[in-house]
């Protein structure tokens, strides 16, 4: 190995702290890869959990133009054996304390019950029963 990196694949909620720390002068050495529309369309046709997204040029100090890419939902994972009261407390906090969470990372501002309900309808078996009950009952 030559100790050089040609590319990485990375999934993270934008803005990614690791990338915001890269100085503007790095724009000569680092580029975000634009996914062609045909690739994004193929994800949609295959019913994969990805959708069209764009990373704005303002997201990172070294970025010069918006980048077309895909996004995927971020999930919290727990065992089905996790006590219901713990799951209930966490799920309620996610939807009732969004502003406090958003102060920690802007991506929390995009959390919505509407989107959670859409995921629940498609992936019902993947939800903890207590989380599914909370999301289904929420208005």
Domain boundaries, the chain: 17-71, 84-137
The per-residue pLDDT for 55 is 92
User: pLDDT (tens digit, 0 to 9) for every residue of the chain, 139 residues total?
Assistant: 577 777 888 888 888 888 888 888 887 888 888 888 898 888 877 777 777 889 999 999 988 899 998 888 777 888 889 999 999 999 999 988 988 998 888 888 888 888 888 888 876 557 889 999 999 898 7
Please state, in angstroms and rounded to a whole number, the distance separating the CA atoms of residues 10 and 84.
33
For residue 129, give every residue at least 6 positions away whose Cβ sits within 8 Å of its Cβ, in sequence order, or none. Answer: 80, 84
Q: Which of 68, 70, 69, 88 is nearest to 78 (CA)?
A: 88
pTM: 0.65
Please state, in angstroms and rounded to a whole number, the distance separating the CA atoms of residues 139 and 128.
19
The per-residue pLDDT for 130 is 93
Bridge partner list, 52: 70
């Amino acid at each position: 190995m030559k100790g050089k990196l040609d590319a990485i694949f990375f999934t993270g909620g934008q803005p990614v702290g690791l990338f915001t720390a890269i100085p503007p002068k790095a724009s000569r050495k680092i580029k975000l890869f634009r996914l062609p529309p045909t690739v994004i369309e193929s994800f949609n046709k295959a019913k994969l959990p990805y959708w069209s997204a764009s990373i704005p040029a303002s997201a990172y100090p070294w970025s010069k133009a918006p980048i077309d890419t895909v996004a995927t939902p971020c999930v919290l994972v727990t065992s089905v054996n996790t006590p219901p009261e713990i799951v209930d407390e966490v799920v309620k906090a996610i939807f009732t304390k969004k502003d406090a969470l958003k102060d920690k990372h802007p991506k929390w501002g995009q959390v919505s019950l509407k989107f959670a309900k859409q995921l629940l309808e498609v992936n019902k078996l993947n939800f903890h029963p207590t989380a599914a009950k909370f999301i289904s009952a929420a208005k």
